[in-house]
Amino acid sequence: MNYTIAILLQIIAYSTLWLYDEYVGLLTCMIIAFVSAGILIFSLVIEMVEKSKVPKSYFIWMLLFCIIPVIVALFFSFLYDGNFDWLRE
């Protein structure tokens, strides 16, 4: 699959969650970003210790899974000016 298609699909999926519920969208974006960043860092450290036959595209995919949720979360945070419904309750 092409990287641009993957980026667009992620943006659509995370945006749909944000439009459904801000709280669920924020939690989903942050959890996916932190978990994928942890996996990426772990695999980069292992790759430095011992070379494997993992293709370079794996690291690019993992980087996309780290960055796109954070970008969507920042966009919607600026869109709502930080005034989330779940903070007012």
Report the chain's terminal Cα–Cα distance, integer Å: 42
Closest CA to 25 of 34, 36, 16: 16
Query: Is 16:59 a contact under the CB 8 Å cutoff?
Result: no
Query: Is 44:59 a contact under the CB 8 Å cutoff?
Result: yes
Q: What is the C-alpha separation between 20 and 61, in angstroms, rounded?
A: 26
pTM to 2 decimals?
0.82
Task: Kindly report, residue by residue over 34-86, the tens digit of the pLDDT.
Answer: 999 999 999 999 999 998 888 888 899 999 999 999 999 999 888 877 777 66
In 10 A of CB 88, how many CB atoms?
6
